[in-house]
Chains A and B, each alone.
Chain A
């Protein structure tokens, strides 16, 4: 018993008191800031492994970006990744960051379905489906619930059964072999329900976008309520995104 108390004492305080203001340590590739500097745009566009960069004007689509950092490395005057981890939004277009734009990415309250605030504002139970995910976003979703990030304090939790859930969280590009299971799971969640996509692979297919082994038809059938970019998404990105969606400011 005494040993246990000693261990507890040795851990000190681990939880992050305010997850909306916490700083991430060291370098972190969060929201990119693109300057209006003139560069060889064709070369810039061409180096991106996932065609996330469009030109004239230069813009990065965070739904496609794999956060490899190569563009910033080769064009440091043009592109810089800030440590701003608040990347989640409910509108796909808001993930496209244009040159000269340094405004934060936010959920647009006007387009959030009304029932989300009123019903899920204080408690949100989610069923996670990994559909071709590489286990990195799954990792970070689990980390969101550890003693440091402690998402459970906001009433947001993952549950074992879709019957107990208020929505689904999809990771991975959705493989052909998982497509049917995704549909069955979604159908089993009672109404009203939300769909959250976590990670680049889920949002756009990422590096697997054109693979013949994936089937993304499920996503075109429903409205997506939240996009949480990242490769993988950082726990702070996940938690802030879900809070932004469900809480009234």
Chain B
């Protein structure tokens, strides 16, 4: 066998991942995916072992609920053929590997920097001299925006090539938010420090990332979570989804100058995040999720409060949505704006709502289930036009769906488990993977431990890692004035990408 088959949240001995030569590795992994839309690469990365580089590739099969893991030891001297030469969806992974280790790829169209990490291979490349595309022409002009933007948002640089008002091409340069998180995971020895790091990966996806970290840690330590922990995490994930989608609906309304929608959706988010504060003391759920424990038990009193919050939220939310979607001036800005085709989302490997907007069914809640999702019998919400309208519709429908799930969960609050087992020490020489469907989409964390169970590698993939490319594609041939709504309809993470 050239690969090993595992499932979500599983830990295996590192030695059980077959190590194959590069040509076989290449054929195997590209072969998995060609003509298989139900399979996609959830992580592909390298790390140093001695003076060689070990490459590990994880391909998920969404129909069979399995993950195929294979590896290759590369001596970093010869030139190798990029996977990208066959399948474009590997381009970002190989750019990252190239940036970190200087691997010489052939057949890769653009080995451009990804995030300028502090420990990058080539220190001469700096964020100030990013190699942007340009087109020589009398008619075209370039527009540069950022790193600091007009609003209160994170930094990134956007370079547009425009023909008059029309965008021909957008290139997005990131890396400004790089804090060295993956390396800090290895250096910070206390568990609470690692949890703090996970909570700080992306402040708008605290529950998503901390859940992924907790699942990995519990898996490496052989810890089975009890029903109350699974319940709390599922609830928190869905509440986070409601809060952010609602906030983003407000932002989209702002960008089409629809004041009523902007204010109403904006204020509707508040009771949801205030509920999080009542539950765990923090509006963004920092402090709520901890590996191996149920930090803030969810009781009857909280359940009653949450029901009340939802009862008040729902009619106002639905009323506002109805009004928004029958407003011609809003629909005309949403419809057929920022379209990304099915073929394109497939080829750039988008995940989560940035895949589902164009008819690509990617949702970890059904494809690689965890926590309470099997019981909820989750059905992904799929749209087909890939435009701003589809993205806004997904937000609306997912909020309604999450409310439904939460009501269902609240019917049956599990007994509190008063005797949590201690977390054992992490298993040595292991590999573990955890996938979580956060509100943006699939989060993938991978960990490798060494001889004493210490972390040798911690790899984080935020949904934004691939979805930024979808934003760049969406604005092609659109008016530059439509960029803000395209951007807000995705609302991608800079810090989650830059790490």
- On whether the beta carbons of B277 and A25 are closer than 8 Å, the reply is yes
Closest CB of chain B to A52's CB: distance in Å? Answer: 11
Across the interface, name the chain B residue whose C-beta is closest to A160.
Answer: B150
Q: How many A-B residue pairs have CB under 8 A?
A: 189
In the complex the two chains form, what is the Cα distance from A181 to B155 in whole Å?
A: 10
Out of A73, A143, A180, A214, which one reaches B179, CB within 8 Å?
A214
- On whether the beta carbons of A138 and B153 are closer than 8 Å, the reply is yes
**Interface residues as binary, A29-63 with B (CB distance below 8 Å gives 1, 0 otherwise):** 10000000000000000010110000000000000
- On whether the beta carbons of B192 and A67 are closer than 8 Å, the reply is no
Out of A10, A26, A136, A138, which one reaches B279, CB within 8 Å?
A26
Interface stretch among A110-118, A205-213, A220-228? A205-213
Q: A24-B277, A130-B155, A207-B184 are in contact. Are A147 and B266 (CB under 8 A)?
A: yes
- On whether the beta carbons of B287 and A68 are closer than 8 Å, the reply is yes
Closest CB of chain A to B57's CB: distance in Å? Answer: 26
- On whether the beta carbons of A180 and B495 are closer than 8 Å, the reply is no
- On whether the beta carbons of A213 and B282 are closer than 8 Å, the reply is no
Interface contacts beyond A14-B267, A49-B192: sample of 11 additional A-B pairs, CB < 8 Å, sorted by A: A8-B260, A24-B277, A26-B274, A26-B277, A49-B196, A69-B287, A131-B155, A134-B200, A139-B203, A146-B266, A148-B270
Task: Provide a sorted-by-A list of 19 A–B residue pairs whose CB atoms are within 8 angstroms.
Answer: A3-B323, A6-B319, A10-B315, A11-B264, A25-B274, A26-B279, A27-B281, A29-B287, A49-B196, A66-B286, A129-B148, A135-B202, A136-B204, A148-B270, A175-B176, A208-B184, A212-B118, A231-B282, A234-B283
- On whether the beta carbons of B287 and A178 are closer than 8 Å, the reply is no
Closest CB of chain B to A197's CB: distance in Å? Answer: 15
Out of B176, B196, B264, which one reaches A50, CB within 8 Å?
B196
Asked if A176 is an interface residue, CB under 8 A from chain B, the answer is yes
- Chain B residues engaging chain A, CB cutoff 8 angstroms: 116-119, 127-128, 147-148, 150-155, 175-180, 183-184, 188, 190, 192-193, 195-197, 200-204, 206, 260, 263-264, 266-267, 270, 274, 277-284, 286-287, 295, 315-316, 319-320, 323, 493-495, 498
- On whether the beta carbons of A134 and B196 are closer than 8 Å, the reply is no
Chain A residues closer than 8 Å to B282, beta-carbon distance: 29, 67, 231
Q: A139-B203, A176-B118 are in contact. Are A29 and B151 (CB under 8 A)?
A: no
Chain B residues closer than 8 Å to A130, beta-carbon distance: 148, 152-155, 177
Chain A CB count within 10 A is highest, among B270, B278, B281, for: B281
Q: A28-B281, A175-B177 are in contact. Are A141 and B147 (CB under 8 A)?
A: no
Task: Mark out the residues of chain A between 57 and 83 whose CB falls within 8 Å of any chain B CB in the assembled complex.
Answer: 66-70, 73, 81
Asked if A185 is an interface residue, CB under 8 A from chain B, the answer is yes
Asked if A167 is an interface residue, CB under 8 A from chain B, the answer is no
Closest CB of chain A to B187's CB: distance in Å? Answer: 8
Q: A177-B178, A181-B147 are in contact. Are A147 and B203 (CB under 8 A)?
A: no
Closest CB of chain A to B234's CB: distance in Å? Answer: 21
Across the interface, name the chain B residue whose C-beta is closest to A180.
Answer: B128
Out of B178, B184, B206, B278, which one reaches A26, CB within 8 Å?
B278
Chain B residues closer than 8 Å to A129, beta-carbon distance: 148, 155
> How many residues in A have their beta carbons less than 8 Å from beta carbons of B?
67
Asked if A137 is an interface residue, CB under 8 A from chain B, the answer is yes
Closest CB of chain B to A83's CB: distance in Å? Answer: 9
In the complex the two chains form, what is the Cα distance from A143 to B333 in whole Å?
A: 25
- On whether the beta carbons of B180 and A147 are closer than 8 Å, the reply is no
Q: What 5 pairs across the A-B complex have the smallest Cβ distances?
A: A136-B203, A26-B278, A213-B180, A160-B150, A134-B203
Out of A7, A138, A173, which one reaches B319, CB within 8 Å?
A7
Chain A residues closer than 8 Å to B180, beta-carbon distance: 208, 211-214
Chain B residues closer than 8 Å to A173, beta-carbon distance: 179
- On whether the beta carbons of B267 and A146 are closer than 8 Å, the reply is yes
Out of A3, A8, A139, A208, which one reaches B204, CB within 8 Å?
A139
- On whether the beta carbons of A160 and B151 are closer than 8 Å, the reply is yes
Across the interface, name the chain A residue whose C-beta is closest to B279.
Answer: A26
Closest CB of chain B to A66's CB: distance in Å? Answer: 6
Chain A residues closer than 8 Å to B117, beta-carbon distance: 213
Q: A7-B320, A25-B277, A50-B196 are in contact. Are A177 and B287 (CB under 8 A)?
A: no
Closest CB of chain A to B67's CB: distance in Å? Answer: 28
Chain A residues closer than 8 Å to B177, beta-carbon distance: 130, 132-133, 172, 175, 177-178
In the complex the two chains form, what is the Cα distance from A70 to B280 in whole Å?
A: 12
Out of A49, A132, A147, which one reaches B495, CB within 8 Å?
A132
In the complex the two chains form, what is the Cα distance from A69 to B188 in whole Å?
A: 19
Across the interface, name the chain B residue whose C-beta is closest to A127.
Answer: B148
Closest CB of chain A to B444's CB: distance in Å? Answer: 19
Closest CB of chain B to A137's CB: distance in Å? Answer: 7
Closest CB of chain B to A167's CB: distance in Å? Answer: 14
In the complex the two chains form, what is the Cα distance from A10 to B176 in whole Å?
A: 42
Chain A residues closer than 8 Å to B281, beta-carbon distance: 26-29, 67, 69, 81
Asked if A240 is an interface residue, CB under 8 A from chain B, the answer is no
- On whether the beta carbons of A4 and B118 are closer than 8 Å, the reply is no
- On whether the beta carbons of B155 and A138 are closer than 8 Å, the reply is no
- On whether the beta carbons of A27 and B202 are closer than 8 Å, the reply is no
- On whether the beta carbons of B152 and A158 are closer than 8 Å, the reply is yes
Chain A residues closer than 8 Å to B284, beta-carbon distance: 136, 139, 232
- On whether the beta carbons of B260 and A7 are closer than 8 Å, the reply is yes
Out of B148, B190, B200, which one reaches A201, CB within 8 Å?
B200
Chain B residues closer than 8 Å to A29, beta-carbon distance: 281-282, 287
Out of B183, B193, B260, which one reaches A49, CB within 8 Å?
B193
Chain B residues closer than 8 Å to A135, beta-carbon distance: 153-154, 202-204, 493-495
In the complex the two chains form, what is the Cα distance from A208 to B263 in whole Å?
A: 35
Chain B residues closer than 8 Å to A148, beta-carbon distance: 267, 270
Across the interface, name the chain A residue whose C-beta is closest to B278.
Answer: A26
Asked if A128 is an interface residue, CB under 8 A from chain B, the answer is yes
Chain B CB count within 10 A is highest, among A134, A138, A212, for: A134
Chain A residues closer than 8 Å to B283, beta-carbon distance: 140, 232, 234
Chain B residues closer than 8 Å to A123, beta-carbon distance: none
In the complex the two chains form, what is the Cα distance from A177 to B127 in whole Å?
A: 6
Chain A residues closer than 8 Å to B197, beta-carbon distance: 207
Chain B residues closer than 8 Å to A160, beta-carbon distance: 150-151
In the complex the two chains form, what is the Cα distance from A11 to B266 in whole Å?
A: 11
Closest CB of chain A to B493's CB: distance in Å? Answer: 7
**Interface residues as binary, A148-162 with B (CB distance below 8 Å gives 1, 0 otherwise):** 100000000010110
Across the interface, name the chain B residue whose C-beta is closest to A50.
Answer: B196
